[in-house]
Amino acid sequence: MIEKIDHIGIAVKDLENSFAKFKNIFNISNYHQETVEEQKVKIISFLIADVRIELTAPTDQDSPIHKFLEKRGEGIHHIAFKVDKIIEELDKLKNLGINLINDSPVDGAHNMKIAFLHPKSTNGVLIELCTEK
């Protein structure tokens, strides 16, 4: 079952500069910074009201975020939905014929298990499912 929108991922080239901008605009004092080795990204995330925004920059040339930036430039990268049972959700989507980037969950930020659906199956929107480990 989908519980809520967990976060919105924004692809950026320069994490620190981008965060400095968001920090000023939204007067952010609390934030979380992390490198996610498995995704080859570094993130800074923070809450605006009760919505988590996740600024994401590549740590490597073959990071999916690097490819996204090359192709489409900076901007909204994905919407993440929190689910209670991620494996069950992925099976359900497979049965519906939805293309999955991750057939089974992988490690994400915030100690979460995550999986992406292929944007070709979802009108060009990259959707992430996530769940607490």
Q: How far is the CB of 30 from Zn ion (least distance, A)?
A: 18
d(CA 75, CA 4): 22
CA atoms of 68 and 84, how far apart (whole Å): 28
Region 3-42 residues binding Zn ion, contact defined as CB under 5 A: 9
Compose the 113-132 pattern: x for residues touching Zn ion by CB under 5 A, - for all others.
---------------x----
Gyration radius (Cα) of the chain, Å: 15
Q: Which is nearer to Zn ion, 43 or 93 (CB)?
A: 43
Judged by beta carbon, residue 10 or residue 95, the one nearer Zn ion is 10
Which run of H or of E encompasses 70?
A: helix 64-72
- Strands 2-11 and 51-58 turn out to be parallel
Tell which positions 79-108 bind Zn ion, by CB under 5 A: 80
Shortest reach from residue 7's CB to Zn ion, in Å: 6
- DSSP secondary structure letter of residue 118: P
Of 80 and 115, CB closest to Zn ion? 80
What is the binding site for Zn ion (CB under 5 A)?
Answer: 9, 80, 128
